Amino acid sequence: MKLEHIAIWTDNLELLKEFYIKYFSGEPSKKYTNVQKKFQSYFISFNSGARLEIMTMPNIPANMNDTELKQYKGIIHLAFEVKSKQEVDNKAKQFQADGVKILNLPRITGDGYYEFVILDPDNNRVEIITKI
């Protein structure tokens, strides 16, 4: 069994789509629109086979989590694996140069990863990792 996709609600469908295309080489599907429900979505596919569904619809309430300072139960981050520490460092430099919010710079974790954490345009936590 494999994890097929994860879905995220957004008010910024096109911005979020472009972010995951630019930084993670995602391939977007054609936009799906349900006119009756005022629902729109894209599936962003990644080389691993995993997909991210980004969705928008009026009247979806804002997430009440404090994404920077506190973490709460439930899904808290997405993680993208690269092949080396150098790739982690290169991604960190790219995000830094582009003004993307970085919560912590690359570091070695106690569970054997080299990683850093950013916030996407909707303040979802995203880890960029490699196993060491």
CATH number of the domain bearing residue 44: 3.10.180.10
Which of 58, 127, 55 lies closest to 91, judged by CA? Answer: 127
Q: How confident is the model at residue 23 (pLDDT cuts 50, 70, 90)?
A: very high
- How much is the pTM? 0.92
Q: How big is the chain, counted in residues? A: 132
Residue 100 lies in a domain: yes
Residue 68 lies in a domain: no
Residue 98 lies in a domain: yes
Residue 67 lies in a domain: no
- Same domain for 88 and 118: yes
Residue 69 lies in a domain: no
In the chain, the number of structural domains is 2
Residue 125 lies in a domain: yes
Residue 72 lies in a domain: no
Task: Give me the domain span that covers residue 100.
Answer: 77-131
Residue 107 lies in a domain: yes
Residues 42-98 have pLDDT tens digits of: 999 999 999 999 999 999 988 777 777 777 777 889 999 999 999 999 999 999 999
Task: Give the 3-state DSSP-derived string for the chain, with helices as H, strands as E and coil as C.
Answer: CCCCEEEEECCCHHHHHHHHHHHHCCEECCCEEECCCCEEEEEEECCCCCEEEEEECCCCCCCCCCCCCCCCCCCCEEEEECCCHHHHHHHHHHHHHCCCCEEEEEEECCCCEEEEEEECCCCCEEEEEEEC
